[in-house]
Amino acid sequence: MELRQLRYLVAVVEEGGFTRAAERLHLAQPGISAQIRQLERELGQRLLDRTGRAVALTEAGAAVLPYARAALAAVEGVRQSAHAYAGLLTGQVAIGMVAGVPGGAGVPGGPGAARVPDLAGLLADFHAEHPGVEISLRESTSERMLTALRRGELDLALVGLESAEPPPGLDVHLVVDLPLVAAIAPGHPLAADPGPLPVAALADHPLIGLPPGTGVRGALERACAEAGVRPRVAFEASTPPLLADLAARGLGVAVLPRPAPGAADALGVRVRRLVAPEPRGRVALAWPTTGPARPAARALLARLRAAFDAAGPLTP
């Protein structure tokens, strides 16, 4: 049994297949497949079920996987301990990011873009200071990233939150906290009144929203449930500016974090603050309550929290 075989197994499971695992490891797919088959022959058990469209763990594979991860973590710990005596920071950090966070933090018009630190810039600065640290960044829905944090597949993640309470098993550092608004085309019936809009009024109109699994979508669905209505989401898009564009073209009412003053006109929409209840769009840096296991991840967490503290959360 070789460590690389365990590394390949973990990568295939985390990426959901051989192709993406090969891309992540920068290796040829047949080589990875051959090494895992060799590991299966040595153990006398099939670890992966390859019969479906997606690769899945067998019962034996599910039993082996935690030990494979523990073995890889132990080897990384040996390496980290040795480097610590030389004053070097090395290792790996896996960070997740919800769509649209850099710059304007996913808010149309980029309100407070100067106040919300640029994630790409922070990662670049950290890498320049610690070139021995390998950083991986992936973009996904908040729901998937929260699951990945709990499983240890991610060290840190910028995620959207449905409520102000930290998700179970995780700690958070709030970065963005804005009210949600309805973005409406100027000729829409709801555009005549500039005042607050009850959430219950959304039931009569097709909505444009972020995909399921995102914090804003979760906050919308939660608010509608409290108001006793069911949202009718006719269009979905991955970023708030695209939601506003669809609304401006008369395709429905977009629900998104409040844009910067003056940005609504530039986007071609009118905005009304949602109330009764008042849903909010929140973005937070999240990590396991026990703290990141890897020293490099702990160092990056401290760097990001300091940057977000200096900027302060983006709020009304």
CB 184 within 8 A of CB 272: yes
Q: Across the strands, what pairs with 180?
A: 257
**Mean pLDDT on 104-130:** 65
Amino acid 313: pLDDT:
66
Structure tokens at 295: 């020293």
Kindly tell me if the per-residue pLDDT of 113 is higher than 60. no
Report the 3 state secondary structure along 158-210.
Answer: EEEECCCCCCCCEEEEEEEEEEEEEEECCCCHHHCCCCCEEHHHHHHCCEEEC
CATH topology of domain 3-85: Arc Repressor Mutant, subunit A (1.10.10)
Kindly tell me if the per-residue pLDDT of 213 is higher than 80. yes
CA 218 to chain centre: 14
Amino acid 314: pLDDT:
65
Q: What is the largest CA-CA distance in the chain?
A: 72
Task: State how far the Cα of 313 lies from the Cα of 316, in Å rounded to an integer.
Answer: 10
Amino acid 51: pLDDT:
83
**Mean pLDDT on 285-289:** 95
Amino acid 104: pLDDT:
38
Amino acid 15: pLDDT:
87
- Chosen CATH of 91-316 out of 1.20.1250.20, 3.30.420.40, 3.40.50.300, 3.40.190.290: 3.40.190.290
Q: How far is CA 24 from CA 10, 73, 128, 154, 156, in A?
A: 11, 18, 22, 14, 18
Kindly tell me if the per-residue pLDDT of 49 is higher than 50. yes
> Reduced to 3 states, what is the DSSP secondary structure of residue 106?
coil
pLDDT tens, position by position, 220-264: 999 999 999 999 999 999 888 899 999 999 999 999 999 887 888
What rounded mean pLDDT belongs to the chain?
A: 87
- List the beta strands (DSSP E) in 25-70: 48-49, 56-57
More confidently predicted of 15 and 100: 15
Question: What single DSSP character describes residue 219?
Answer: H
Amino acid 315: pLDDT:
66
**Mean pLDDT on 261-282:** 92
Amino acid 102: pLDDT:
39
| Domain range summary for the chain, segments of one domain joined by + | 3-85, 91-316
Q: Which of 89-98, 119-128, 272-281, 294-303 has the highest mean pLDDT?
A: 272-281
Helix, strand and coil percent figures for the chain, each rounded to 5: 45, 20, 35
Kindly tell me if the per-residue pLDDT of 108 is higher than 90. no
User: pLDDT class for 136, splitting at 50, 70, 90?
Assistant: very high
Amino acid 296: pLDDT:
87
The angle subtended at Cα 163 by Cα 218 and Cα 170, nearest 5°, is 105
More confidently predicted of 311 and 64: 64
pLDDT tens, position by position, 172-186: 999 989 999 999 999
Task: State how far the Cα of 236 lies from the Cα of 254, in Å rounded to an integer.
Answer: 9
